[in-house]
């Protein structure tokens, strides 16, 4: 299976709060898990990525948590700001170097 | 970080005409580039993998004669939508990566509208 399931579809978080987006995969051959941020009318921009031999990776306000046994990974955005309002995609890369994208989460940060 | 330039940002064309979209890696060489298609409020769907100096490989269901891909150099791949029709209207995005495509960088996308 090449599918990557992402939830929630949309998320509203108050400014300063923690935004959490979850993804699950089935293909154990995936070896690289990036998260992308996309603003309307723009291409996706790489936020942070993790390999399955690491359980957590943090870069600034963004943290990926990875659970290999459960085949799940999540993105946490700490101290969420209005500028973080965008669509977020998780993805997974297989041995053929192709990325399989999740369905996306539209995040809105409210004052 | 690495920069991928995509041009044009948007294009409007008449039904039956062909449109060419360019994707350039500005500060690195990309032996492989990827072309995606994205409909409004949907995810990115891989259309094809563009390989420098060889034929592109297309995903299942993508018409290779309609979406012509040329990867003539290590920094340039082009996607030509031939005989475009309104159903081809979409947001097209290219991506390229460095060694092993560990970090894929995306172009800014091209919004194609076919009238």
d(CA A9, CA A107): 9
How would you write the pLDDT of chain A (111 residues) with one tens digit per residue?
A: 568 999 999 999 999 999 999 999 999 889 999 999 999 999 999 999 999 999 999 999 999 999 999 999 999 999 999 999 999 999 999 877 788 999 999 999 999
pLDDT > 60? residue B5: yes
Q: Residue B89, class by beta-carbon neighbours within 10 Å (0-12 exposed, 13-18 middle, 19+ buried)?
A: middle
Domain that holds residue A57: 4-110
HSE-CB at B48 with a 13 A cutoff on CA atoms is 25
pLDDT tens for B18-67 read 999 999 998 888 888 999 999 998 999 999 998 888 889 999 999 999 99
Q: Tokens 């990325």 — which residue?
A: A99
- Nearest Cα to Cα of residue A56 among A43, A73, A71, A41: A73
pLDDT > 90? residue B72: no
Per-residue confidence (pLDDT) for residue B65, from 0 to 100: 94
List the 67-106 stretch of B: residues with Cβ below 8 A of A.
91, 93, 95, 97, 100-106
Contact assignment for B1 to A46 by CB distance below 8 Å: yes
Indicate the number of domains in chain A.
1
Where do runs of H (alpha helix) occur along chain B?
Answer: none
Contact assignment for A104 to B43 by CB distance below 8 Å: yes
Per-residue confidence (pLDDT) for residue B99, from 0 to 100: 57
Please enumerate in sequence order all residues whose Cβ is within 8 A of that of B18, keeping only pairs 6 or more positions apart, or say none.
B80, B81, B82, B83, B84
Sign of the alpha-carbon dihedral angle for A13, A19, A25, A30: positive
Residue B23 backbone dihedrals phi, psi, to 5 degrees? -135, 120
pLDDT > 60? residue B9: yes
pLDDT tens for B77-92 read 999 999 999 999 999 9
What's the CATH code of the domain at A38?
2.60.40.10
Residue A8 backbone dihedrals phi, psi, to 5 degrees? -80, 175
Give me A53's structure tokens.
Answer: 């031999």
Contact assignment for B49 to A43 by CB distance below 8 Å: no
Q: Tokens 């399989």 — which residue?
A: A100
d(CA B59, CA B84): 19
Contacts of B44 in chain A (CB under 8 A): 44, 89, 101
């Amino acid at each position: 299976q090449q599918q990557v399931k992402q939830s929630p579809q949309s998320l509203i978080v108050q400014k300063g709060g923690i935004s959490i987006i979850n993804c699950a995969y089935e293909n154990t051959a995936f070896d690289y898990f990036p998260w992308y941020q996309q603003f309307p009318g723009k291409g996706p921009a790489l936020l942070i990525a993790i390999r399955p031999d690491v359980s957590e990776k943090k870069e600034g306000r963004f943290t990926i948590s990875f659970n290999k046994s459960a085949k799940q990974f999540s993105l946490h955005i700490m101290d969420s700001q209005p500028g973080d309002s965008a669509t977020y995609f998780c993805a997974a890369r297989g041995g053929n170097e192709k990325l399989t994208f999740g369905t996306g989460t539209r995040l809105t940060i409210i004052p | 970080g690495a920069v991928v330039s995509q041009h044009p940002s948007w294009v409007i064309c008449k039904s039956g005409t062909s449109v060419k979209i360019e994707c350039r890696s500005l500060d690195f060489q990309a032996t492989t580039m990827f072309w995606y298609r994205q409909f409004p409020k949907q995810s990115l769907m891989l259309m094809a993998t563009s390989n420098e100096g060889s034929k592109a490989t297309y995903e299942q269901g993508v018409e290779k004669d309609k979406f012509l891909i040329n990867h003539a150099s290590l920094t340039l791949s082009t996607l030509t939508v031939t005989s475009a029709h309104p159903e081809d209207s979409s947001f097209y995005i290219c991506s390229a990566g460095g060694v092993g495509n560990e970090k894929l960088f995306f172009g800014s996308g091209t919004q194609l509208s076919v009238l």
